[in-house]
Chains A and B, each alone.
Chain A
Amino acid sequence: MEEEGTVILTISHLIQRACPITAASYSVPRSPISTSKPHKNPGGNYRHEESFRTCENPTLQTLKPLNYPTFLVGTLALPSFANCNSPIKCSCFQFSDDSATICCDILDFDPKMIGQKIRILTWNFIPLTCGNGGEKDGFLEIISWEVFQACSGDVCSFSDSSSFCLSLGVCDVKNKSKTSSLIFGIVESISPVFVVPCVSGESGSRNISGFLVDVLVCQCKFCVSKFLASELRDLTEEKVKDHSFEKRAIVYFSGLTSSWHPVVSRFISNVIWLTGLKQKLVFITNEESKLMYVTTDEASLHVTKFFKEQGLSRNTNIKGRGEIGSYTGVITAIYMQGMVVELDQDVILLLTDQHLIVPHCVRVGAIVTLENVHFVDPKFPWAEMLILGACCRTSMYVESFSPLETRGHLKSHSQTLLQKFINSLPFAARLWALLVVSCFRKKFAGILPEKVILGSKHKEGLAQEYASSHLPPSAFQFRHGVLVEFCRHDSCSVGKEEHYFHLRLVLPIANLISYCEISWKKILVNRENFSDFVGDINQKKPLSCGGRSYVQSIRRVLRTEEIGILVLGTLKTSIYSGRLQLVDATGGVDIMLDLPATWNFDKIFEAKDFTLIMEGVPPDLVDSDSTICQPLSCQSIFSTAQPLRTMKISIYLYHCSTDDSRSHSLFFDGKGDLLELDRGKFHLLMLTHKYPIQQRFQGDRAKRSNMFAQAIVLHWDLLVAGKDKDAVRNMVSAGHWKDLLENFTRQENHLTHKRCKTEQALVEVSNCGLNDSGDVLNCQFSGSCCADRNLYTGQTCISNQLLELPCLVASKGVNSHCLATLCCTIEQAKIVSGCVLPRRKVLLEFSPDSFCMYEVLRIGRCYLVQHKEEDILCYPVGRLKVFITSSTKLWCLTFSSMESLQGSDVSDGLQYCNIPTNSDGKISKGYRQLEIPCLTGNAIDNEIYTDVSVFVPSSALNLLETVIGKLDGGSLESKDSFEEESDIHDLGGSMVNASTQSSGNPWADYTLPEGNLITLRGLVVALHDCSCEAFPAQPMPIPGESYLPFLRGTGGVCVHVLVDNKIVRVFCDLNKQTYPVGLVGDVCATFHRVLVLTQQKKYMMTPVSFITIDDTSLINGHTDEFNYAHETVVKLSNTSQSTVPPVLISDALQLSDLKPMQFRCRVVALYILVVQKAKATAVSRSCGCSILSGVEIPLAGFIMDDGSSSCCCWADSERAAALLGLESEEILLEESAETSGRSKAGKGQQYNSTVSHLDKILEQHGRVVAKNYGSMFDSSFQDLALSVGSGRSISSSEQDLLRSLTTKAFLSASWTIVGSLMHPEASRWLEQQLTELDMAVPSLPNVWAASVNRTDVLAEARNTIQWLM
């Protein structure tokens, strides 16, 4: 074997070189050597070949071979634990030559090599750095070896050529040994080497290292007899089989024998016998002792080769509940400093245990076998996996060294608080906690110091704090030392594993996005496979708008609850898009969320129950190779690689409001932030408008202009007195305040009688919510709160003639109520007389650092702002501007009735809640919550994030409602004039300048469009990208006249909104980044201050327009696709038809009148079809002919059949296109008059392909006529004669296309057609048309179709069954 020129290397040379290499005593081929040896996997899980293929990592290199033959010569020795100061902290074999000693591992281990001088023929060297000083060290992986120089060691009387003996000195086994000194059995498990502090009389205290071995022994008569030793001398394989190894015995190898650990661990499942033992009672704790065999100085270990693999039957009945078994697999990754090892890509081995000794050769690429490892199936909803939990009984050895240049991991021996915490958990929870730690490190890298995230030896880190808050107390177990745990192994985390499936995976945001992208692809791929049967769900029909068709995006929705994930992060407003985002160090994702006004944006937000919405245009071809990557695998969390966003789909989170407060928990919020109102005076503001964020893309991105919002200052101030528990109790209990009210209203009645009729009307309005007395409330309290009022007399800005309402104030998160007074700043008489109160508008200006506050404010809500000295809010001057900084506090406010508090003990900690409850938990009677003036229309928000609740007498609620309503002036419905906007121009000059500068004022040639600004609220049906050409402000856009200047050059978005059962279109000139997240089909949205465009049901967003999304509408449709809008549209279309009576065709024949009727029928055949090229300039609204992508259908007759009879249905261009399957449903709902402009083929869709082919044919021939000379009652017997206007012949492919076009008509399902029998004039026109084409008028009833819709099957079935009953 040895070749000439073979170099003998020294270990010190290798250590100094510090290069990972592989070498052999013969010339190594260039290709990497194979190091694997055939072996079997007891668990049946041996999958390394497959795993290797899939885990190929291009960055991993194979070990570089030395290019010359070489070998090492040295002695193999056992480790030494006798000296506990030894730097060796592992139980590896030691290989030493003259130069140095290093750890090593041997592939084909033979115990006889111990103590021998051996020559190593093939080996790998892996450099290590250890110790704090980073001393160089290394590790030798011995693949093949031979004895270099046999040295005659101690002779054992038992040893022969086939057996092995290991002893401390001379092995002298007497034939008649005491049975207590000899043990014969199978090694079941072995503990790591551990150290026990011992106190001995003479030498003082010292530490004794040792390890425990569990041996199964036999109880037969030979084994218990004193002749066992002589019996063992003649042991044969046959004889071993006669024994039954069942009884468990623990052998404690202590002192010098502790260095036998690497040898004994090689013999797990093998038959051994040990002599020179002593039975001793060992105290494992202060109270508990256990009888063990302890090694003496005479101890010897005997192994007979015969009995190798005489193992125990393992891996039976493994269900993944912590059972013990063995496993062999390839290491595919190592994470968290070696605490987590990934085997075969989906098995996770946890090596967190402090005492575990992990061989250095545990490197990526190695094949390892684990003995006595716990099998745990965590049943996490987010990923399928198997956890292998290593405990003190687990041993691990390498079956094949890694051929890859990967490094081993040295475990740190100091344990942090976090590690202790992790080790105290059961395996499933342990893995989850490790994932949390890994995720937190990624999430907050650079945001928080590592020490804060991970904690230190004495302080809990953020990750630990979070993890422990999600685990039940029962999850934590006190950990003992190895001695106790080995002896009491039954308590080792078994049986508790199944309780942790609720633990959700905390995802970094980058991973969340990657998960969405992969799910999106998967959905598309899966759907594509199904599309043959259920139709192509991935593709919505193209949306038709303005004579063009647009590809519609599709939406897919996932519930994070179902996926089992959650996301943490901080909330921020993106400086690019101005949208609210959940952000961590890995990225950000848009989020739709309703926050309280007092939200602290520095807090970490935990989004628990939210909906993940993905929206985009499905690609024509779906790239299906995405299945390899598992976005929710442990790998994706542990690995440092950060997934990148690759797809252009919109992904955002929608937070579902639920009762569970944890679902939107502010993690780590503590109780620091009290939202309580201080004593003092507060002004009430009602937000009426928010001006959108002005982008400065051309300039410095980081620099942003200020933000603006508009509010009305209400004529009420809140004077908060303070917490006087007795006063509060008095006020609420027994209607004390009612008496005061009655006193007051009695006086008021006197006044009221004098008022005029109009005032009476108001009185009645106010009356409707009053208590029994029915008295009008115009409270002017002087009694109840006078003590408190005196406090404020100095600050009050208005005269003494004030309206005052006593009230109680409850703040969120504060358990007690405060007394307060609502004080009207206008004279009482003005309110009661119902005169129009002056609006005090105020412009709120937000500095860039208070953008977050701007973000949380909602139009239509009331807010409190604390009064400051010389506050301009006190002076009723025309226009006010208030500068809001980050230090300004705003509280969102709602009014509730005080009666709701009755019956509950207010002062003793009535909890703040939106719906006050009685002590028995039922909702209090008489509780009403004043809907804050409904700027948002019918405010649907069922969970208003109110910061402050003001309880006023229920009768006063009415007054407030009236007064505030009046102040609001119904600005929602009414059209605000441009005057409204001049505010912003005057006051916020910077905004105007900003937009003008950024675009270089390109609109100088155009006059601005004029019109009213209104607020629209409706259901978004669809939206599509659009260019200015397709959305003219005027019927015929002419430059120089009024036009949409904002649209020049850039595309926009056209939003179809269902408002009052009519579809209107709103054009947003903004690019997609500036309209709010979540503005998609099927949501309710409010478009504030949009410009009305010349009565065409068209509106336009202006730079002051603002869109708000009514979140709640999304909750209903969370399954797969929101169909709400579609359903509404269908319902709408049906309601419009419902006015027309449905009839059978046979009945219609008997009717002579020409009233519109409704038929439900199917197309049987085509009678005639004329298709021609649309005129380029035609805007043919008046004749009811729409232009469909350059195709016009001037004449079309279809034979229809409803089961009772047949008729011929004549339709205009648009209806005919629908019957031919050319049109999308959407266009049917729109008025034909809305189509305009030139038509072009849209983007690639099947629909378009037919149309574009047709376009081409018409381009060539101008006009095509198809006449049916065959059967009118059987589609398969119709005989179409095709003729063209050009006079040229039609090619066969053109013929095929035209014929197939007609077949679509009779292959569609049922149509609901509203039409009437043709009146004589129309009949004459028809006859004339047909005569020109050499056709006769069919001898069937001729019906002119006024509308064509697909049948709503369910509604029809309902109607029919009603008719039948």
Chain B
Amino acid sequence: MQGSIMDALYNTHVKLLAFDFLSLSPNPSCPTDPSSFCRKGTPLSRAESVGVIVTRELKPGKFLRFIIDDGTGCIPCVLWLNQLTSPYFSKRNPSGVRLIAQLASKFAAQIQLGVVVRVRGKITGYRGMVQITVSDVVLERDPNAQVLHWLDCIRLARKCYDKYSKNGV
């Protein structure tokens, strides 16, 4: 049962505060997988974060790099914008790829300095730093959303992530 929960957690978008997120280390058990990271021994691959956009660097048609500050630290994020040109997507359904590309450019337009966003994506490494490769972005209009995210992070860490990590280690 424990194992299945651990597996489930691997595919779950974990809610981590930035300081916690930045302390993730590459998963030693699968060094080849670029999106496998460990938190206190628990393997994780996806994360969710809420915060203010503090930097934004756009390479049109390629990617958008930005940083989310959630009050406890800054999480670097990357949003790929190359779906229509990348060979990686060439095998997939063109209608689906078009949609993904459209969505990505919509997200890129939404990501402006100062706005509060909720992002989800894969945990990846870049130049020795842990970052989020963004899958989707939602603008948060409710100022309480950030507070709820903090509280969720604390609750999940206490009730879920820490609980299994001890057993897992």
**Which residues of A does B touch, CB under 8 Å?**
533-535, 1144, 1146-1147, 1149-1150, 1162, 1164, 1201, 1203-1206, 1272-1277, 1279-1280, 1292, 1295-1296, 1299-1300, 1303, 1306-1309, 1340, 1353-1354, 1356-1357, 1360-1361, 1363-1364
Contact = CB atoms under 8 A, between A and B. Distances in A.
Given A1203-B48, A1361-B151, A1150 B95 contact: no
A1127 to B, nearest CB: 13
Contact of B156 (A1203, A1275, A1303, A1306): A1203
A1364 B159 CA distance: 10
Most buried by A among B14, B122, B160: B160
B13 A1203 contact: yes
Contacts of A1295: 95
B99 A1360 contact: no
B145 A1353 contact: yes
A1206 B11 contact: yes
Interface string B98-121: 111011000000000001001010
B166 interface: no
A1300 B99 contact: yes
A1146 B2 CA distance: 10
A1146 B1 CA distance: 11
Contacts of B127: none
29 contacts: A1201-B13, A1203-B13, A1203-B15, A1203-B156, A1205-B12, A1206-B12, A1273-B11, A1274-B46, A1274-B135, A1276-B136, A1277-B135, A1279-B96, A1280-B96, A1295-B95, A1296-B99, A1299-B96, A1303-B99, A1303-B103, A1309-B145, A1340-B8, A1353-B144, A1353-B148, A1356-B148, A1360-B148, A1360-B151, A1360-B152, A1363-B155, A1364-B151, A1364-B158
Contact of A1279 (B5, B92, B122, B154): B92
A1299 B8 contact: no
Contact of A1275 (B135, B142, B151): B135
B30 interface: no
Contacts of A535: 141
A1279 B96 CA distance: 7
B147 interface: yes
Contacts of B98: 1296
B138 interface: yes
B13 A1354 contact: no
Contacts of B156: 1144, 1203-1204
B95 A1357 contact: no
Given A1205-B9, A1273-B11, A1274-B135, A1146 B95 contact: no
A209 to B, nearest CB: 71
A1275 B96 CA distance: 11
The B interface, classified by DSSP as helix, strand, loop or mixed, is helix
Given A1276-B135, A1303-B103, A1353-B144, A1164 B95 contact: no
A1164 B136 CA distance: 9
A1144 B12 CA distance: 12
Given A1149-B8, A1201-B12, A1357 B103 contact: no
User: Which 8 A-B pairs rank lowest in CB-CB distance, beginning with the nearest?
Assistant: A1360-B151, A1203-B15, A1273-B11, A1295-B95, A1205-B8, A1357-B148, A1353-B144, A1204-B160
Contacts of A1354: 142, 144
Nearest to B159: A1144
A1306 B136 contact: yes
A166 B38 CA distance: 104
Given A1273-B11, A1279-B92, A1357 B151 contact: yes
B118 to A, nearest CB: 7
A1357 B154 contact: no
Interface of B: 1, 4-5, 8-9, 11-15, 46, 48, 92-96, 98-100, 102-103, 115, 118, 120, 122, 135-136, 138, 140-142, 144-145, 147-148, 151-152, 154-156, 158-160
Contact of B147 (A1146, A1276, A1357): A1357
B43 to A, nearest CB: 14
A1357 B144 contact: yes
A1274 B134 CA distance: 10
A1205 B46 CA distance: 11
B28 to A, nearest CB: 23
A110 B158 CA distance: 96
A1280 B46 CA distance: 21
A1357 B154 CA distance: 12
Nearest to B142: A1353
Contacts of A533: 115
A320 to B, nearest CB: 37
A494 to B, nearest CB: 48
B123 to A, nearest CB: 12
A1273 B148 contact: no
A503 B12 CA distance: 64
Contacts of A1276: 100, 103, 135-136
Contacts of B94: 1292
A377 to B, nearest CB: 36
Contact of B5 (A1146, A1164, A1272): A1146
A1275 B141 contact: no
Contacts of B135: 1274-1277
Contact of B8 (A1146, A1274, A1296): A1146
A1201 B160 CA distance: 14
Contacts of A1360: 148, 151-152, 155
A1340 B92 CA distance: 26
B13 A1164 contact: yes
A807 B1 CA distance: 81
A1363 B152 CA distance: 11
A1205 B5 contact: yes
B140 to A, nearest CB: 7
A1308 B145 CA distance: 13
Contacts of B145: 1309, 1353
A1308 B138 contact: yes
B136 A1203 contact: no
A588 B22 CA distance: 66
A407 B46 CA distance: 80
B1 to A, nearest CB: 7
Contacts of B95: 1292, 1295-1296, 1299
A1223 to B, nearest CB: 19
A561 B65 CA distance: 49
A1203 B14 CA distance: 5
Nearest to B80: A1276
B95 to A, nearest CB: 4
Contacts of A1203: 12-15, 48, 152, 156, 160
A1150 B1 contact: yes
A534 B160 CA distance: 34
A1275 B159 contact: no
Contacts of A1299: 95-96, 99
B144 to A, nearest CB: 4
Nearest to B145: A1353
B138 A1273 contact: no
Contacts of B5: 1146, 1149, 1205
A1070 to B, nearest CB: 38
A1273 B92 CA distance: 17
A1307 to B, nearest CB: 6
Nearest to B46: A1273
A1361 B148 CA distance: 9
Most buried by B among A1146, A1150, A1280: A1146
Most buried by B among A1203, A1280, A1308, A1357: A1203
Contacts of A1340: 8
A1205 B7 CA distance: 9
Contacts of A1150: 1
Contact of B155 (A1201, A1279, A1296, A1364): A1364
A407 B114 CA distance: 59
A1201 B46 CA distance: 11
A1292 B96 CA distance: 10
B93 A1307 contact: no
